[in-house]
A and B are shown apart, each in its own frame.
Chain A
Amino acid sequence: MNWELLWKAVLIFTLAGYSLLVIIVIFGGIGNIVDMLHDLLNPPDQE
């Protein structure tokens, strides 16, 4: 088994995949925070 090649691929995949995830979560997360605070101030069972 070529360990060197495996760890190279893992490292590249991690750095690229995580960078992409961070971008997605930043944009999606802001909207989610607004919705969460709205839910807490107006619980569904009290609406």
Chain B
Amino acid sequence: MDVFATNFQTIDWVIVCVYICIPVVIGIIVKKYIRQLSDFIVAGRSLRLFIAIATLTGTELGLVTVMYNSELGFLHGLSAFHVGIIEVFCILTIGLTGFIVYKLRELRVMTIPEFYQLRFGRNVRIVGGIILALGGILNMGLFLQAGARFMMGITGYSNPAGLKIFMSVMLIMVLVYTVMGGMVSVVLNDFMQFVVLSIGMIIGSFFAISKIGWANLFQAPPTVDSASWFNPVSEGSGFGSIYVIFMVILTFSAGALWQSGTLRALSAKTPKVAKQLYAWSSVSYLARRIIPMLWGVCAFIFVSQTPRLLEAFQGPEALNSQFGMPLFMAKVLPSGFLGLIAAGMFAAFMSTHDSYLLSWSSVITQDIVAPLKKDRLSDRARLLITRICIVAIGVFLLIWGLWFEAPVSLWNYMAVTGTIYLAGAFTVVTAGLYWKKASRVGAKIALYAGLLAILGIGPWTRGENVPFYLSDKFIGVMTFLIAFLGMILGSLLFPDKTEPEEAKE
């Protein structure tokens, strides 16, 4: 069997092309609804429960999510499911308690660093904004690359130039409608993509399971160790106890404070809706993990049963493991449905990209540029800067995606780059909301500590026999710990003598 053989036909191309034009049309139509900055960034705080669930899922269930989760399933088998279980408990806890998100929505802030200013002053907001933008933009650095790999695998396009072509076309499409419509167009597209992608994922799962067989799914392939296929803490699973601890801290903090997700809570009509949003979305969070992981597991079983494919994924010239799932789906899904899945995934790629572009560009405008200008920027100027930032970030993503190859799996890369922001943000926001003694010095130490996570994507993390203290998961856990200790010690040793000006107002 040819490695890049696919069922993708002309009809599938037609479906994809028609489908991807729809978001651009929506972007043009809804431009009339954008009259002020809050309309652009938080949709005028008018999101009700069900549309908020759809848009949160549309954002957090992107093509890159499908890629990194399917890669985890492909590399680690069913043991990867533990990440989904951890995440669903974290999101449900946030939803039931309203931890962080309820209070933030009550304060009517548009970005997390805006809260830093309310609680700790302008300087902390600028530092927090820079670190958030840095971590966030690095985090989405491989989105384009992963998306292009999916499209190559599913369409069977094996030309080496394919990566560049797909990356460029995908980027241009996203930029056009994000720059035009802002959050309103993002919300409408997210809803449409939620519907198409969700139905596609459910039906696609049945195709995948029927190809492999329900019973075979729960038997480790002969090429892997049976215990590590099922048990995430068994030796050889590639995870281990430290990894599980890292996932608990990371998914809880990301659930509460990942800017693009939290933006949905901040856009909710009321604080109560923000809270309900998380409780309901816990099922979506579970699905966004488990379903792609299932596809990855099926792909690995399929590859291990097909000598030609097995050969392609082994040896020094081996294909990147991200290709496993799309190559499998391209062979088992029928033409027509394959086009719909590809269109849905491409749409998912756009819905994640638009939200992330909007998130990080609004952070640069609202939390770095505006405070530096002492908030003397008009809404019009802020909108213009936000749009310029969206394009600039897009160009960076194209360059980074072509040049950088992650030393770890895609998910681990994202976990570590996310920690750059989350370690500081989680500590600072939690302490700021729930601990009266939290001080400006403590906040700054915690935010700077997050930068340590950059060590987790260095070349020293590559390879099989890396000492544990140089592994990405250990660096991730330590970054959170140092940020936490930094906040406590900094606040106790250097308490605030005055309140920030903003708090007095």
Contacts and interface: CB of A to CB of B under 8 A. Distances in A.
Given A4-B218, A7-B81, A17-B283, A25 B291 contact: no
Interface of B: 33, 35, 39, 43-44, 46-54, 57, 78-79, 81, 84-85, 184, 187-188, 191, 194-195, 198-199, 201-202, 205, 218, 230-231, 280, 283-284, 286-287, 290-291, 294
Interface string A12-47: 011101110110111111011101110111010000
Given A4-B218, A18-B283, A43 B44 contact: yes
Nearest to A29: B50
Contacts of A11: 81, 290, 294
B33 A29 contact: no
A14 B286 contact: yes
B46 A15 contact: no
A40 B44 contact: yes
A13 to B, nearest CB: 8
B280 A15 contact: no
A5 to B, nearest CB: 9
Nearest to B267: A36
Contacts of B188: 33
A39 B198 contact: no
A32 B48 contact: yes
B50 A25 contact: yes
Contacts of B52: 32
Contacts of A18: 198, 201-202, 283-284, 286-287, 291
A27 B419 CA distance: 37
A4 B230 contact: yes
Contacts of A14: 84, 283, 286-287, 290-291
Nearest to A39: B46
B191 A33 contact: yes
Nearest to A26: B195
Given A17-B283, A25-B53, A40-B43, A3 B48 contact: no
Nearest to A1: B231
Given A19-B202, A33-B51, A25 B46 contact: no
A35 B181 CA distance: 18
Q: Which 3 A-B pairs have the closest CB atoms?
A: A28-B50, A32-B51, A3-B230
B33 A32 contact: no
Nearest to B281: A21
A41 B39 CA distance: 11
A40 B267 CA distance: 13
A36 B47 contact: yes
27 contacts: A1-B231, A7-B230, A10-B81, A10-B84, A10-B85, A11-B81, A14-B84, A14-B290, A14-B291, A15-B202, A15-B205, A15-B291, A17-B286, A18-B198, A21-B287, A25-B53, A27-B50, A28-B49, A32-B47, A32-B52, A35-B48, A36-B46, A36-B47, A37-B33, A39-B44, A40-B39, A41-B33
A40 B36 CA distance: 10
B161 to A, nearest CB: 37
A21 B51 contact: no
Contacts of B286: 13-14, 17-18
B199 A7 contact: no
Nearest to A24: B50
A19 to B, nearest CB: 6
Contacts of B49: 28, 32
A32 B48 CA distance: 6
A36 B202 contact: no
Given A14-B287, A40-B35, 19 more contacts: A4-B230, A7-B81, A10-B81, A10-B85, A11-B290, A11-B294, A14-B283, A19-B202, A22-B194, A22-B202, A25-B54, A27-B50, A29-B51, A29-B53, A36-B43, A36-B184, A40-B44, A40-B46, A41-B33
